[in-house]
Amino acid sequence: MIPQWKIYPRSQGHSTVYLQNVVTDPSITVGDYTIYDDFVHDPRDFQRNNVLYHYPINQEKLVIGKFCSIACGAKFIFNSANHTQRSLSTYIFPVLFEEWDLDVARIPEAWDNRGDIVVGSDVWIGYEAVILSGVTIGDGAIVGARAVVTKDVPPYTIVGGVPAKPIRKRFSEEDIAQLLELHWWDWPQEKIAASINAIQSGNLEELKRAAAG
């Protein structure tokens, strides 16, 4: 587990942060070792600059797993951006309740509620990618630069484009099933450290032996 005081994982620069130690909103949950890099803005402002239309009235959540890598400018866009299509007008009358003498309780009627955003562990989200409300991204997935993710992404799948579509699986279905069973990101820090060579070299058999050891 990362000490709460540790923000920057690299002594050489401060563009990368451990995200869980800079987020204060209780409706945003970030797992251990997940990083965000921003060479344009202060990465400590992720909550304000990258999590958009995320208002308390919706009680929606952003859940990000462990060991994720989130590139500069990635955005998570929540339900209040979804002007309702159920109405005859997309205008936000309920939000402007004071102007139109409406009940404040009707504010959520101004948008279509698609749910939380959930990102699994070991996910790589590329430069300026956009993740929309209601989307779940599976463990080990990769989201290409400037992709717009409107639908769920299966584990260990690479997606890209606007809207994002599957490009290919990272591994065979058998290997993916084994990786999902291993859940190496939930291992103790010492065990992960001892298995880094196996992880980086793609040696699944060695990783399985480490899990059994």
pLDDT tens for 1-45 read: 788 899 999 988 899 999 999 999 999 999 999 999 999 999 999
Question: What digits encode the pLDDT tens for the residues 137-191?
Answer: 999 999 999 999 999 999 999 999 999 999 999 999 999 999 999 999 999 999 9
Shared domain for 213 and 117, answered yes or no, is: no
Q: Cα-atom radius of gyration of the chain, to the nearest Å?
A: 19
Q: How far apart are the first and last CA of the chain?
A: 22
Q: How many folded domains does the chain comprise?
A: 2
The residue among 36, 31, 6 whose CA lies nearest residue 20 is: 31
Q: Is the per-residue pLDDT at 136 higher than 90?
A: yes
Q: Is 95 within a domain?
A: no
Shared domain for 124 and 69, answered yes or no, is: yes
C-beta neighbour count of 208 within 10 angstroms: 15
Shared domain for 121 and 163, answered yes or no, is: yes
Q: 34 lies in which domain range?
A: 16-82+112-170
pTM > 0.85: yes or no: yes
Q: Is 193 within a domain?
A: yes
Would you call 54 a catalytic residue per the annotation? no
Q: Is 89 within a domain?
A: no
Residue whose entry in the numeric block shows the structure tokens 């999902």: 180
Shared domain for 118 and 207, answered yes or no, is: no
pLDDT number for residue 99: 95
What does each C-alpha distance from 29 to 47, 117, 136 come to in angstroms?
A: 11, 11, 14
Question: What digits encode the pLDDT tens for the residues 84-101?
Answer: 999 999 999 999 999 999
Shared domain for 37 and 78, answered yes or no, is: yes
Mean pLDDT of 65-73: 98
Query: How high is the mean pLDDT of the chain?
Result: 96
Shared domain for 161 and 183, answered yes or no, is: no
Strand 142-143 and strand 130-132: pairing? unpaired
**Contacts with 131 (C-beta within 8 Å, 6 or more apart), sequence order:** 74, 75, 76, 77, 117, 119, 125, 137, 143, 149
Active-site entry in 14, 41, 54, 83: 83
Mean pLDDT of 52-69: 95
Confidence label for 213 from pLDDT (cuts 50, 70 and 90) = confident
Mean pLDDT of 186-206: 96
Shared domain for 116 and 208, answered yes or no, is: no
pLDDT number for residue 1: 78
pLDDT number for residue 184: 98
pLDDT number for residue 192: 97
The residue among 68, 69, 65 whose CA lies nearest residue 38 is: 69
Q: Is 11 within a domain?
A: no
